[in-house]
Amino acid sequence: MQSSALESLPPPVRRSLTKLGSDIATARRKRNLTAVMMAERVGAAKTTYLKVEKGDPSVSMGIYAMALYVLGFGEAVGDIVDPRRDDVGLLLDVDRLPKRVRPKKAPKPL
């Protein structure tokens, strides 16, 4: 039985997870690794690893991250929400800039 949070995932999120799982499976096959070999390297049961390849949202992010690491994509996880690539965040920063800049007053000597 899945939790209501998993059932209420928006369709774009489900599609993204499914694509991620499929991409992981493709990368594994390109490297001539079996699902059992990947499961051992990831440190998960074979059934859990197979859920990764299906894009199952109930698998922990740590297992997905480890699978990416084993396949040579370990750096990609840290760059997902890199502030330099956050277009919305960069626009919000520009919107928050002050309209005027005033120099600070120097403290009065004693």
* Mean pLDDT value across residues 15-41: 97
Lowest mean pLDDT among 45-49, 60-64, 93-97: 93-97
Domain boundaries, the chain: 8-95
Q: Answer whether residue 2 shows pLDDT above 70.
A: no
Within 10 Å of residue 24's Cβ, how many Cβ atoms?
22
* Token pair listed for 94: 């520009």
The span from the CA of 81 to the CA of 97, in Å, is 22
- Residue 61 confidence (pLDDT): 94
- Residue 86 confidence (pLDDT): 84
The 10s digit of each residue's pLDDT in 70-98 is 999 988 888 888 888 888 888 888 778 78
Q: Answer whether residue 31 shows pLDDT above 90.
A: yes
Higher pLDDT, 3 or 88: 88
Within 10 Å of residue 63's Cβ, how many Cβ atoms?
19
pTM for the model: 0.77
Write the CATH number of the domain with boundaries 8-95. Answer: 1.10.260.40
With beta carbons less than 8 A apart as the criterion, state whether 49 and 37 touch.
no
